[in-house]
Chain A
Amino acid sequence: EAGVTQSPTHLIKTRGQQATLRCSPISGHTSVYWYQQALGLGLQFLLWYDEGEERNRGNFPPRFSGRQFPNYSSELNVNALELEDSALYLCASSLHASREGYTFGSGTRLTVV
C-alpha cells in the first residue's frame, strides 16, 4: 500500500513569490492535514481538510491556504512568501478525522531566499 506522497521534495522560492505544495493521501483516507515543521518549533498545525472542505485551520495568516480535490489529494498554497516561511511542510492523512490513524508523508522542504 502506497503511503502519503508529497511533491516536490524540495522547493526554493524568492521572497514575495508563491509556493504550491502537493499531497496525495493513503488510498481510502478522506482527511488531509498540513503541518509546518520549523527548526526548533516542533510541528505546528496549519490546515485540515475532509471531504473537500476546510474543517479547521491553525494560527497562521490567510496567505496560507489550500484545497482538497475530489480524489482527496490536497494542495497547500503559500502566497507572498517570507523568509520565515522556510520550513519542512508535512502532510498527513487519516480516515475521516481519525486522529489515531495519522500517517505522515516525508514532507516538502521549502526554502525562501
Chain B
Amino acid sequence: EAGVAQSPRYKIIEKRQSVAFWCNPISGHATLYWYQQILGQGPKLLIQFQNNGVVDDSQLPKDRFSAERLKGVDSTLKIQPAKLEDSAVYLCASSLSLSTGTEKNIQYFGAGTRLSVL
C-alpha cells in the first residue's frame, strides 16, 4: 500500500517569495492534516480537512498561509509571502475516519518538505 506522498522534499526560497507544497494522502483516507515542525520542536497542526471541508484551521496564519483540498483527495499548502520564521519541515498526514477498529485514530505521515527561507 502506498504511503502519504509529499513534494518537494526540499525547498529554498528568499523571504517575501511564494512557495507551495503538495500532498497525496493514502487512498481512502478522508482526513488530511498539515503540520509545521520547527527545528527542535514537535509538529504543530496548521490545518485539518475532513474530505474537502476544513475541520480546524485555528493555528493557520491566514494572512500568509492558505490550503485547499479540492475533490477531497490531494492537498496544497501555500505560503505567500514567506518570512524567515517559516523555515521548518511541513508534514502531511492522513487517517481513516472510523469510530472503531484497529485503524482508529492512527495518523500516517509523509516524509515532509524541508523549507529554508533566506
A and B interact: no
